[in-house]
Each structure stands twice: as structure tokens, then as C-alpha cells.
Copies of this chain bind each other. A is one copy, B any other.
Amino acid sequence: MSQKTEISSLGEFGLIRHLTDKIELKNESTIKGVGDDAAVLEYGDKQTLVTTDLLLEGIHFDLTYVPLKHLGYKSAIVNFSDIYAMNGQPKQITVSIGISKRFSVEDLEELYSGIQLACDIYGVDLVGGDTSASMTGLAISITCIGEGEKGKVVYRHGAKETDLICVSGDLGAAYMGLQLLEREKNVFKGQKDFTPDFAGKEYLLERQLKPEARKDIIKALAQAGIVPTAMMDISDGLSSELLHIAKESKVGCQVYEDRIPIDYQTAAMAEQFNMNLVTAALNGGEDYELLFTVPLTEHDKISQMKGIKVIGHITKPELGNYLIGRDGGEIELKAQGWNSLN
């Protein structure tokens, strides 16, 4: 955008109004949105879910290659994903933003347009938050409120021995997308007018820059009458999340290397970068896929569901947490075992 409006020209309240005055409330449970000391929600017999994320420039995102609209979209999605991971439905979000002087009103509009787009697609109301100055970069804090049915909210602690371990979609692509963006940034630093060629790698970029939350999987599970025994979203990497479920459920787990779903582009990129593909899939993070466990009795149902893969099973706790390699060898799962990735 060429037009740049100084944020100071609107003032804080003017800015909030400017950014939020077009918001239409979508949920019956939203009694009052932006514009008072607090939002007012009303739930009947539902359980209320709350999740929050703080994203800081230079740590969680790099504006060199992340467009603000995409950043807004992703910031909202990662919170929705946490609500789906409880088998719930996201309903409201609050958005607080800290901005330094280098940002213009148009920049914030871009950011908010991405947040609003995510809200529109997922049926979520933006109900509050604030905007303030920041000394350095951009800080985004989002809180999402959702609802879950009583008795159907899924925690991390419910996995039982012999349960099947399932994942949705495929893993490692978001991480490969990040590697790709970082490489282009480093190689072409300082070269003006450079447009990197990402042909054939679009999926990796999309997974990194514009991830989706698996609302469809939650719906499909409900339609199939399956309530997972434990569930999480994969934000820090499969390995780390498996260990969370194992620890909280007081069980062990075994997953099989040849069962881990990996997209063709992810595999090709790993080879090009001379990286271990399984390492990327296990530890990459930011996939926002769902990791869940279901009773063994659901095997026939779950193995026929599109976009879901059974990758292993839950074991007794004393058996530990292992990946069984293609060659039959066992590798102990560690949350941050591959330091080069962190």
C-alpha cells in the first residue's frame, strides 16, 4: 500500500474504533463485543473454553517474509486450533496489539483484515482487545473463547493402553516452508527487485504462511460418532506433543516411521536441503494438525476416514515413548532431541 496514515492522527480510541467498527457479531452467545471494559458472553449448558497466545516480532514471526495479512490470519488460526484440539468450537476472540512507530494505520488494517478473514471463515466473533504503543516491534496477543459440549471436551490426559494414535493431514511442511523462506532471505539479502522462485513449493509456503485449523476433522469425528480419548494440536512438533499426551495420560507410546504422513513437496525439499525427513516431521512444528487417540474398537471406522492416519498405539508407561524406524530400530522420542532444529 502506498498511503501511510500516521497512527497518532487517529489517537488510541480512534484507532480501535477504526479497526473494529465494521465487525458484525455472529454468535448468539456474544451479548456485547468491542467497546466496553469487557466482552459479555452467555452460554447455556455448554462448557466455556479459553486459550491465549502472545506473538512477538523476531521470535514468532519475521516481517521480512510474512505479509501482515497472513500474520493476522495465522495469529487467529493458531488460537482456533487450540479450541478444536479440545473438541470445541471457537466462538469469540480478543486481540491486543503493541505497535512501534514504524507501523502505519494501513499496516494495522492489513493485519486486522487477516484476523477478520479467519474469523469470517471459521465463524468467530472479534469481541475486544486493545492497541497500544510498543518500544520495538510488533506484539500480538490473542485470546480465544470457545464452547464444548459437556462430557465431550477432550483433554490430553485420557489416552489408554492399546488406543490408536492418529494424526490428521501431513506433517513437516510448515517447517520446510520456514526453511525455504529463511534460505531465500539469507541468500538474497540486500538484493533489491529480487523475486524468489517458489514454483513447485507452494504447498510448503502455504502451510507456513497461511495454515488452517482442522475444523473439518472435528466435524468428521463428530459425524462418525467418535470422541477421542485424548487430543492436542501439533504446534511444537509431533514428538513433543506425543510426549505431552503420554505424560498427562501416564502411558507410553509407539509410532511407526513409515506411517507418518508426509507430503511429496516436504520430502523433495528435505532431500534438496539434505535434511532428515523424519526429524522434520517429528520436530518441525507449526503444522496445526490434530494428534489424537481413539479406542482400538474404532479401528475400522477411523482407518476409513479421509485425512486421518493411524500412526501407532498407546502402550504401558514402562515401555516408554518410541519411534519404530523403517528398519525396525527403535528411537526414543525426545521433545527437543534435534537441537539443530530449535
Contacts and interface: CB of A to CB of B under 8 A. Distances in A.
Interface string A85-97: 1101000101011
Which of under 10, 10 to 19, 20 to 34, or 35 or more describes the interface residues of A?
A: 35 or more
A146 B53 contact: no
A127 B50 contact: yes
A271 B37 CA distance: 33
Given A37-B156, A38-B88, A41-B48, 14 more contacts: A11-B335, A32-B155, A35-B156, A37-B82, A38-B49, A38-B51, A38-B146, A40-B48, A50-B50, A52-B52, A52-B128, A54-B97, A54-B132, A59-B135
A124 interface: no
A153 interface: yes
Interface string A233-249: 10000000000100010
Contacts of A139: 54, 56, 98, 139
A37 B94 contact: no
Interface in A55-109: 56-60, 82-83, 85-86, 88, 92, 94, 96-98
Which of A36, A129, A136, A144 has the most chain B CB within a 10 Å cutoff?
A36
30 contacts: A11-B336, A36-B156, A37-B156, A37-B232, A38-B51, A38-B82, A38-B86, A38-B146, A40-B148, A41-B48, A41-B49, A43-B43, A50-B50, A50-B127, A51-B94, A52-B52, A52-B96, A52-B128, A52-B141, A53-B96, A54-B98, A54-B139, A56-B98, A56-B134, A58-B135, A59-B132, A60-B132, A94-B143, A136-B136, A143-B143
Contact of A53 (B41, B57, B85, B130): B130
A133 B59 CA distance: 7
A37 B86 contact: yes
A174 interface: no
- Please give the count of copies of this chain that the complex contains: 2
A13 B335 contact: yes
Contacts of A39: 49-51
Contacts of A97: 54
